[in-house]
A = this chain, B = another copy of it.
Amino acid sequence: MSSRETVDFIYEAHERIKPFVHKTPVYTNTTFNNLIGKEAFFKCENLQKTGSFKARGALNTILKLKKSNPNLKGVVAYSSGNHGLATAWASHLAGVKCSVVVPKTTSEFKVTAVQGYGAKVVKCEYDPISRLEACETIATKEGYEIIHTSDHDDVIHGQGTIALEFLQEVPDLDAILVSASGGGMISVFMVEPKGKMAEESLRSGKRLWPNPPQFIDTIAEGLMSQQLGNLTFPIICRLVEKEVFTVGNEDIINGMVFSFRYLKMVIEAAAGATVAAAMSEKLKQMDPGIKKIGVILCGGNIDILKLPWYSSTYQNGPKRFKLF
């Protein structure tokens, strides 16, 4: 698919989903701008339906599916969090049956939220292979369609509507920081947790990750898959800058604490990663022409009874915040 076609599909997706999703606000913060010496714009997908941008892709996919197949029996998704919740919500809205496969370690809070939209929750082992197998078993047995987390054109086009809205609101952004796959007409930089090792693959254009696919050790649950998708990888190679922002858990916590304190926004670790990237030395050192930075706060689904800066592992981390 060419870039031009991709953009057309994103516009179509936007028309399809916009009556049902929020046009999320874009906020700025003087303290943050002073801190980074640039102008930052925060796109608040934490305020999106179901608390994350995933509502966009899931809804686009399910609405298209239902239109092309009015006898659709149901859908099934695998996800430890946002994509599962988004698929449950979108199915409920579209009047479609839904099952969500989650690792058995998933918190009761998330399970209850998914069930709250009438979806069935199926538990599996905590690894990428098990969840895919469980999903395929249900799809075969029930005749359900699988809604992939990212490796599906309709999901990708749905998520792409964030960039569309963002650029409609702030047309002259010089760069966008995203902690997930994305695209647009400007410089898009990927933000990854330590261990994802995306830069090497991006630079070579080859999938250099070890197999079988594994989860990496990060507090950002939304970013724990090491490998980029088979469909998203070539798009990212084409549209996204080769330089990747790699952030550790302490950086992520720094970003989250800033957001809670100054933006008054509850964000999850995956969003904290983009704030951390915007605050990084690496960004400061880049081309001074990069002045207006778009930061996508991808979601706000975090267990607020277990915020990472209260964990014994990171209790000394927040000392760094005295400077702000």
Contacts and interface: CB of A to CB of B under 8 A. Distances in A.
B322 A46 contact: no
Contact of A305 (B25, B266, B267, B309): B309
A27 interface: yes
Residue of A51, A266, A309 with highest tally of chain B CB at under 10 A: A266
Interface string A259-271: 0111011110000
A143 interface: no
Interface residues of A, number: 27
Interface string A277-301: 0000000000000000000000010
B264 A322 contact: no
A280 B305 CA distance: 22
24 contacts: A25-B25, A27-B47, A31-B116, A46-B264, A47-B264, A51-B262, A108-B322, A112-B322, A257-B304, A257-B305, A260-B266, A260-B304, A261-B304, A264-B265, A264-B266, A264-B267, A265-B265, A266-B266, A304-B309, A305-B309, A305-B318, A305-B321, A307-B307, A310-B310
Give the number of times this chain occurs in the complex, counting copies: 2
A266 B116 CA distance: 24
Contacts of A310: 310
Residue of A46, A108, A261, A307 with highest tally of chain B CB at under 10 A: A261
Interface in A242-271: 257, 260-262, 264-267
A262 B47 CA distance: 9
Given A47-B264, A307-B307, A310-B310, 7 more contacts: A31-B116, A108-B322, A109-B322, A112-B322, A260-B266, A264-B266, A305-B318
A92 to B, nearest CB: 11
Contacts of A265: 264-266
Given A25-B25, A307-B307, A309-B305, A300 B112 contact: no
7 smallest A-B Cβ distances: which pairs? A264-B300, A264-B266, A260-B304, A46-B264, A260-B266, A305-B318, A310-B310
Contacts of A260: 266, 304
A300 B264 CA distance: 6
A307 B267 CA distance: 16
Interface string A4-32: 00000000000000000000010100010
A318 to B, nearest CB: 5
A312 to B, nearest CB: 12
Contacts of A300: 264
Interface string A46-60: 110001000000000
A59 to B, nearest CB: 15
A261 B268 CA distance: 11
Contacts of A51: 262, 264
A318 B266 CA distance: 17
